[in-house]
Amino acid sequence: MRMWGMFFREYMELSLGVSIPPCTLDDVPTDHVRFAEDIVERLGRKNPLALFKGYLRHGYYPFYFEERN
């Protein structure tokens, strides 16, 4: 059985309980500002860079929610 890792968007959704819609690579060149503003608004006072550091450290696989170590 193969387990795929989570995307950063999925990590934020599961760890913070926020819903962040996915975007395609075709959307990024034209709508990147709108997507960034939407994500910042949904995260509230949470720092996306600090969240990303946590994702890189232990959030790639979903079983981290059971035990972080």
* pLDDT one-digit tens code per residue, 17-68: 999 988 889 988 999 999 889 988 999 989 888 999 988 888 787 776 666 5
How many residues appear in the chain? Answer: 69
Q: Where are the domains of the chain?
A: 8-62
Residue with tokens 């790639």: 60
Given a contact cutoff of 8 angstroms between Cβ atoms, the answer to whether 19 and 42 are in contact is yes
> Measured between alpha carbons, how far is 13 from 11 in angstroms, rounded to an integer?
5
pTM: 0.73
